[in-house]
């Protein structure tokens, strides 16, 4: 477009542009309106269905929302003197929860690493099996941890190991996907350079790809570690040991043990927030120098 005419072209063109644009605007408004309408309908009817299928109604229950925390907090406040002792008592359970998260993140990251390298075009050792590895990681990602954990608890009994395996499997799938997005953008030139010297696949990955992707991989793994601490606490609820298990018992006992529930809650909450902050700090540092 280099014609610098300011005098205007023929009015017919302008007219037709005006009318076609107006039509386009109308159409867009219509679609936009429809989308909005569908969304609002979905939200409203969805809310109504959920409200209807819930034991208590939303509006009936709203004023009671503070009852349970109030019960717990008032009892915990009464017995506040015992809180430090209880925190100490449950500290080993906390360590177990963190251990579950850490081990499963480590194992999952290793699994994700292989899944991503084997499932990325240009890097895969067996290019024809790429779809296979992608499906594997999709499936591993899709399985909620609780499913595997429950089954393993069944076979091996309760404890940290089922949770660890369950979380590791899910982590491997989830990281496999995130990792392979990073790996797809990796520069293949070094890999080719290494290939030309007769390096094996593992050497090419180790020297050609890993140094490039490591900061992102570590950053994603840290993020996953955060998520896994929660997951490991949740799995405790279904018998997989750690803090979640203690919390569930304390809550199930009800009044009389609410102080324990409060103590465990403080530990859990503190841990989650602590690792959240630490990991986001390090993640920022890792990805910082990548802008250029």
Partner 1 sequence: MLHIEKLTKRFGDKIAVDAANISVGQPTMIGIIGRSGAGKSTLLRMLNRLSDASEGTIQFEGEDITSLRGAAMRDWQSRCAMIFQQFNLVPRMDVVSNVLHGTLNKRSTLATMFNLFPQSDIHKAIEILDRLGIAEQAPKRAEALSGGQQQRVAIARALMQDPKIILADEPIASLDPMNAQVVMQSLRTIHEEDGRMVIANLHTLDTARRYCDRVIGMRDGRIVFDGTPEQLTTGVARDIYGAGADFSEAATSTEIETLDRQKVIA
Partner 2 sequence: MTTADLTLTKEHAANLFRRKRLIGFSIPAVIAVYFIYIFFAFDLPGLAQRASLEKAVTLFSDSWSHKVHVTRNNRTGEIDYAVEGERKGRYPEGERPDWVTGDEIITIDLGADHIVRYLPNNRTEVEIPGFPMIEVQAEGRSLTTNLPADLPDWISASKRRIGITTPEGRITLTGARTEVFNYFPGWELFWFTLDSPYHGHGVTEILFGEQLDPSRSNVAGAVTDWWNNKMWRHRDVAWAIGETILMAFLGTMGAAMLALPLAFVAAKRFSPIMVVRAATRRVFDFVRGVDALIWTVVLARAFGPGPLTGALAILITDTGTFGKIFSEALENVDQKQIEGVTSTGAKPLQRYRFGVIPQVVPVLLAQILYFLESNTRSATIIGAITGGGIGLMLTQAIQTQKDWEEVAYYIVLVIAMVMFMDWFSGWLRAKLIGRKD
Partner 3 sequence: QDISEFRIGILGGENAQDRMNSYQCLADYTTETLGVETKLFAPADYNGVIQGLLGGTIDMAWLGASAYAATYLQDPEAVDPVLIKVNVDGSIGYHSIGFARADSGVTSLDDMEDKVFGFGDPNSTSGYLIPSIEIPQYKDGVTMESGEYFGEVKFTGGHEQTIVAVNNGDIDAGVTWADAQGNWEDGYNSGALRKAVDAGLIDMNELVQIWKSNVIPEGPIVLRKALPADVREKMTALVDGLHERDEECAYGVAAGETLGFQPVTHDTYVSIVEARKAKIGG
CB of 10 to partner 1, least distance (A): 10
**Residue among 15 and 78 whose Cβ is closer to partner 3:** 78
| Local structure of 23: helix, strand or coil | helix
User: Mask: binding to partner 1, 197-226, rule CB under 8 A, as x and -?
Assistant: xxxx-xx--xxx--xx--------------
148 makes contact with partner 3 (CB under 8 A) = no
User: Radius of gyration over alpha carbons of the chain, in Å?
Assistant: 27
Distance (Å, rounded) from C-alpha 172 to C-alpha 108? 4
18 makes contact with partner 1 (CB under 8 A) = yes
Q: Which of residues 149-208 bind partner 1 (CB under 8 A)?
A: 187, 189-190, 192-200, 202-203, 206-208
156 makes contact with partner 3 (CB under 8 A) = yes
Q: Which span sits near partner 3 by CB under 8 A: 52-60, 84-92, 99-107, 274-282?
A: 52-60
Structure tokens at 253: 């006992």
CB atoms within 10 A of CB 198: 7
- Number of residues interacting with partner 1: please give it, by CB under 8 A: 38
Contact 263, 87 (CB under 8 A): yes
CB atoms within 10 A of CB 134: 19
Contact 72, 83 (CB under 8 A): no
Distance (Å, rounded) from C-alpha 277 to C-alpha 283? 10
Contact residues for partner 2, defined by CB under 8 A: 28, 39, 42-43, 46-47, 49-51, 53-58, 61-62, 64-65, 67-69, 96, 99, 102-103, 106, 138-139, 141-147, 150-151, 154-157, 159-161, 164, 230, 233-234, 237-238, 244, 247, 251, 265, 268-269, 272-273, 276
CB of 288 to partner 2, least distance (A): 14
Given CA atoms 244, 246, 248, 251 in this order, what sign does their dihedral have? Answer: negative
DSSP states along 236-286: HHTT--HHHHHHHHHHHH-TTSHHHHHHHHHHHHHHHHHHHHHHHHHHHHH
Report the partner that residue 257 touches, choosing among partner 3, partner 1, partner 2, none (CB closer than 5 to 8 A by kind): partner 3
- Number of residues interacting with partner 3: please give it, by CB under 8 A: 27
Given CA atoms 154, 158, 162, 163 in this order, what sign does their dihedral have? Answer: positive
**Residue among 191 and 250 whose Cβ is closer to partner 3:** 250
User: Mask: binding to partner 3, 62-101, rule CB under 8 A, as x and -?
Assistant: --x--xx--x------------------------------
Among 99, 212, 249, 280, binds partner 3 (CB under 8 A): 249
Given CA atoms 114, 120, 125, 128 in this order, what sign does their dihedral have? Answer: positive
CB of 35 to partner 2, least distance (A): 9
Distance (Å, rounded) from C-alpha 114 to C-alpha 180? 10
Distance (Å, rounded) from C-alpha 150 to C-alpha 161? 11
Terminal C-alpha separation, the chain: 33
Residues that bind partner 3 (CB under 8 A): 53-56, 60-61, 64, 67-68, 71, 153-154, 156-159, 238-239, 245, 249, 251-257
Which residues make up the interface to partner 1 (CB under 8 A)? 1-9, 13-14, 17-18, 20-22, 24-25, 29, 187, 189-190, 192-200, 202-203, 206-208, 211-212
């Amino acid at each position: 477009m280099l014609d610098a005419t300011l005098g205007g072209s023929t009015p017919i063109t302008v007219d037709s542009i005006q009318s076609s644009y107006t039509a386009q605007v109308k159409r867009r408004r219509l679609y936009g309106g429809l989308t909005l309408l569908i969304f609002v309908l979905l939200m409203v009817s969805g809310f109504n269905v959920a409200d209807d299928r819930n034991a208590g109604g939303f509006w009936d229950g709203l004023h009671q929302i503070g009852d349970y925390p109030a019960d717990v907090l008032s009892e915990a406040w009464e017995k506040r003197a015992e809180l430090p002792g209880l925190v100490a008592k449950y500290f080993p359970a906390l360590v177990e929860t963190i251990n579950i998260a850490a081990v499963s993140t480590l194992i999952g990251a290793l699994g994700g690493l292989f899944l991503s390298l084997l499932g990325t075009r240009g890097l895969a050792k067996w290019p024809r099996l790429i779809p296979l590895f992608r499906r594997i990681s999709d499936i591993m990602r899709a399985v909620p941890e609780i499913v595997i954990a429950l089954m393993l608890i069944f076979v091996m009994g309760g404890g940290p190991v089922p949770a660890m395996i369950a979380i590791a499997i899910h982590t491997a799938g989830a990281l496999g996907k995130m990792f392979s997005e990073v790996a797809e953008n990796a520069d293949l030139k070094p890999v080719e350079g290494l290939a030309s010297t007769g390096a094996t696949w593992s050497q090419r990955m180790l020297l050609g790809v890993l140094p490039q992707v490591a900061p992102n991989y570590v950053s994603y793994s840290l993020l996953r570690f955060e998520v896994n601490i929660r997951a490991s606490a949740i799995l405790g609820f279904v018998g997989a040991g750690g803090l979640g298990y203690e919390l569930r018992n304390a809550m199930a006992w009800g009044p009389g043990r609410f102080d324990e529930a409060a103590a465990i809650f403080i530990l859990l909450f503190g841990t989650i927030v602590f690792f959240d902050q630490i990991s986001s700090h390090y993640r920022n540092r890792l990805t910082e120098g990548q802008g250029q």
